[in-house]
Amino acid sequence: MKVVEVTRTDDLIDLAPVWNKALASAGSDNIHSTFEWLSAWWKYFGEDKQLLVILIKEDDRLLGIAPLMIESVPRIKGLLPHRTIRFLGEGPSDYADFIINEDRDQVIALILDHLQKRSNQWDEIDLAEIREDSPNTDILKREAAKRGFHPKTIHGVNCCYLPLNQDWESYFSSLGKRHKTNINRVIRKAEREAGGIEFTRKHPPEDLNSLLDKIVEIHRQRSQVKGRASLFETREAFVREVVSSFAEQGQTDLLTLQIGGKVAAYILAFDYHNVVYVWNVAFDPDYTPFAPGVLAFRFLIEDCMKNGYKELDFMRGEEPYKEEWTKLTRRNYRITMTNPAFRSRALKTLLRLGEL
């Protein structure tokens, strides 16, 4: 086996034909580890970071990918940077992991050996949003400990998910009484007072740009009501690119809920390998009395069940509304490691003492 390091954007782009093929059999497959997602992330958020994608190959076969980058943050009066290795996709990504489809133990060992050889270029490894069902976690911690990296596991957020291998009627009857009553009430209210409800899922690609204009505005209005900045303030260009890229493959799953003919709520999701990943949701505050967010999920879940999807992944975050639809959760974890080299130990000690 040999290690190949990718540090140039052009070389990252060259991996497009093989990346998703490796991911599909990796056991850690998810929408946020795809080439489309991570290459777009690098394009929009990688400017002040150093690319560090590690490939493990045997002959012409790609056995594993470590999708990493190095982020440097000045600490001592701007002179001494603290250099942290992180996953590509940090921030917008709900899940992250190594992509390994053969010889998992040996591949992870080679990745860590390579990082150990580059120990003069980093101080800490901070790998966030690893799902609890990752096949890599135990091996990673064991191999890191062997190399004196002192791995620590930090509990992250829970991610709700709903298996869809059931019929809608049985599932709906299993929901809480108050939740069901509210759904039926607002449906009647919308039909009586606002001209009825319609939903559209899987919009044609040519309609997505204008629809994105609308959902950006809805999200900004909703964020203003909540007293916080909209995610589109800093991520709009990124979102438009990934929506367009996945739409070309039929994987952009944008549901809009119309009340009285106007878009009242949306669910921006991605349809990937028979799982629907819900990434962003918002509703127009003017339609609050009709609970449009609740209705959007009601129609999405029913439609997914009728069309044979395997799972609806609500993704990162423990918002109470998710628990109205499912009690099942998976936890994300963060694994941190420390460079045993002197510079890094000294820097960490100074940080702990509050001197930086």
For 264-286, the pLDDT digits (tens) are: 999 999 999 999 999 999 999 99
Residue 343 pLDDT > 70: no
Give 276: exposed, middle or buried? Use CB within 10 Å, 0-12, 13-18, 19+.
Answer: buried
355 — pLDDT class (breaks 50, 70, 90): low
Cα–Cα distance for residue pair 199/302, rounded to 1 Å: 12
**Are residues 6 and 142 part of one domain?**
yes
Read off the pLDDT of residues 63-93 as tens digits, 9 standing for 90 and up: 999 999 999 987 666 567 889 999 999 999 9
Same domain, 169 and 41: no
Token pair 């790609």 is found at 62
Is residue 316 in some structural domain? Answer: no
pLDDT at 356 over 70: no
Give the list of residues 6+ apart from residue 107 with CB closer than 8 angstroms, or none. Answer: 1, 56, 63, 64, 98, 100
Distance separating alpha carbons of residues 124 and 133, to the nearest angstrom = 24
pLDDT at 353: 66
Q: How many domains does the chain have?
A: 2
Residue 327 in any domain: the answer is no
**What range defines the domain where residue 200 resides?**
165-309
Which residues partner with 74 through β-bridges? 81
> Do 161 and 328 touch, CB atoms closer than 8 A?
yes
Over residues 200-212, the mean pLDDT reads 92
Distance CA 9, CA 22 (A): 19
pTM over 0.85: yes
Rounded to the nearest 10 degrees, how much is the dihedral formed by the CA atoms of 317, 245, 60, 29? 20
Please name the residues in contact with 126: beta carbons below 8 A apart, sequence gap of 6 or more: 84, 85, 86, 334, 336
Which class for 235: exposed (0-12), middle (13-18), buried (19 or more C-beta within 10 A)?
middle
**One domain for residues 45 and 169:** no
- Integer CA distances (angstroms), 179 to 62, 166, 305, in order: 48, 19, 19
Q: Are residues 146 and 293 both part of a single domain?
A: no
Q: Could you tell me if 143 and 26 lie in one domain?
A: yes
Rounded to whole angstroms, how far apart are CA atoms 216 and 124? 36
What CATH number does residue 240 fall under? Answer: 3.40.630.30
pLDDT at 235 over 90: yes
Q: What is the mean pLDDT of the chain?
A: 93
Q: Tens digit of pLDDT for each residue in 129-154?
A: 999 999 999 999 999 999 999 999 99
Q: Are residues 7 and 129 in the same domain?
A: yes
The answer to whether residues 38 and 151 belong to one domain is yes
Judge whether 302 lies within some domain: yes
Whether residue 149 is found in the same domain as residue 17: yes
